[in-house]
């Protein structure tokens, strides 16, 4: 192993030296305006930009380094875990939380959101998504999730029960769904449209059994409109394209689905002047139209829904933004479905846009929330 590491380091140093020497002719051709001075650093910055732009094989160097890591050690950049048969996983589903108290803080906020929605007369259902690594552990290579991650889903269901927070157990549904097709993309953190549809059906069935939603009268139908070659977001941690693109995991096809309201019985002017009574809040699993989760939910529920999901902010921020809009925004809602990928339960969120007192109110529980709501003393910054 020591010999391999030495060879690995030697190749890197040799490659770096060769690329640096190849860039020198471009450095000698540098020229700048006469007013560019040395004292304020502008000259040094101009030289740096010129050198970087003219680096003849910069992209090749990046690709070559990634090829060495991937080819010799089966590793990518920080952020990805390389599995077998071209499967990639986010390392967020493998590594421990940086702050052991983060999960407790997140659950306090979840409980506070539940209490605030109850105060507004709205039921909250948590759509807890099992990790891709949990569903496709058969494709692990050497690396395994830490014990904290292995136990996270079961512990999260227990926390939900302790809070009296309803929501379906989606692990079994997705395991069964694997028999009909992939429920997660091989090179992406996200699910497939098939996986999203499986979850939508499981959510609707759970709601009916829990008497939370008996189904609407609207008729929706989903059609497959084609397919496209999909470049998974995890491939960005394997920068092999274009020079070593053949080393990348094989490309995969993403089915394109579209859900539309049907005419005839249950169609037409279904709602008149009425607004949807169900809202969806969540992450890119719900916000990105590629997965068609809102469409699958509309079909499974037989009703239209509002979609407050957002890309790139995790599950907490979109929910807090919804509450921060005030009670008028949620008036008429009877049910909120909150899509939460399990890995986010141990991760921090950037909550700086919200008033600290309002967040403390939510964490403190329903009694504090009701007192402050009556006083009107804590308004979230996002609503101001």
Q: Is 188 a catalytic residue?
A: yes
Q: Is 251 a catalytic residue?
A: no
Of 156, 190, 230, 286, the active-site residue reads: 190
**Helix H or strand E segment including 253:** strand 252-261
Residue 360, judged by CB atoms within 10 A of its CB (0-12, 13-18, 19+), counts as middle
- What the block records as the tokens of 384 is 């101001």
Of 188, 230, 286, 304, the active-site residue reads: 188
**Helix H or strand E segment including 382:** none
CA angle 361, 364, 369 (to 5 degrees): 45
Upper half-sphere CA count for residue 274 (Cβ side, 13 Å): 15
List for the chain the helix, strand, coil content (%; round to 5): 50, 15, 40
Of 97, 156, 194, 284, the active-site residue reads: 284
φ/ψ of residue 280, rounded to 5: -110, 130
Among the listed residues 303, 86, 276, 272, the one whose alpha carbon sits nearest the alpha carbon of residue 185: 86
Q: Is 190 a catalytic residue?
A: yes
Do the bridges between strand 335-341 and strand 306-307 make them parallel or antiparallel, or are there none, so unpaired?
unpaired
**Which residue numbers are catalytic?**
188, 190, 284
């Amino acid at each position: 192993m020591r010999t391999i590491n030495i060879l690995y380091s030697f190749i890197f140093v040799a490659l770096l030296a060769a690329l640096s020497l190849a860039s020198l002719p471009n450095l000698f051709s540098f020229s700048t305006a006469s007013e560019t001075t040395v004292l304020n650093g502008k000259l040094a910055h101009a030289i740096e930009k010129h050198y970087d732009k003219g680096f003849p094989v910069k992209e090749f160097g990046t690709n070559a380094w990634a090829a060495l890591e991937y080819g010799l050690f089966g590793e990518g950049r920080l952020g990805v875990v390389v599995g077998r048969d071209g499967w990639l996983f986010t390392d967020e589903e493998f590594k421990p939380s940086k702050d052991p108290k983060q999960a407790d803080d997140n659950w306090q906020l979840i409980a506070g959101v539940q209490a605030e929605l109850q105060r507004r007369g709205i039921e909250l259902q948590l759509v807890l998504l099992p990790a891709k690594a949990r569903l496709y552990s058969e494709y692990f290579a050497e690396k395994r999730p830490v014990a904290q991650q292995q136990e996270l889903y079961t512990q999260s269901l227990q926390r939900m029960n302790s809070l009296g927070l309803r929501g379906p157990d989606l692990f079994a549904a997705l395991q069964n769904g694997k028999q009909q097709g992939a429920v997660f993309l091989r090179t992406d953190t996200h699910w497939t449209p098939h996986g999203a549809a499986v979850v939508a059906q499981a959510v609707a069935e759970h709601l009916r059994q829990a008497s939370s939603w008996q189904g609407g009268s609207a008729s929706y139908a989903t059609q497959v409109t084609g397919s496209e070659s999909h470049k998974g977001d995890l491939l960005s941690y394997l920068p092999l394209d274009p020079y070593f693109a053949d080393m990348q995991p094989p490309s995969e096809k993403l089915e394109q689905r579209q859900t539309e309201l049907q005419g005839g019985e249950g169609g037409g002017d279904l709602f008149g002047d009425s607004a949807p009574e169900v809202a969806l809040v969540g992450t890119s699993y719900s916000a990105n139209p590629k997965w068609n989760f809102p469409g699958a939910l509309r079909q499974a529920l037989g009703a239209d829904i509002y979609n407050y999901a957002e890309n790139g902010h995790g599950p907490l921020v979109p929910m807090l933004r919804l509450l921060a809009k005030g009670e008028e925004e949620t008036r008429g809602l009877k049910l909120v479905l909150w899509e939460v990928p399990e890995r986010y339960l141990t991760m921090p969120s950037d909550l700086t846009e919200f008033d600290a007192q309002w967040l403390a109110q939510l964490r403190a529980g329903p009694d504090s929330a009701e007192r402050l709501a009556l006083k009107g003393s804590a308004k979230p910054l996002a609503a101001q």
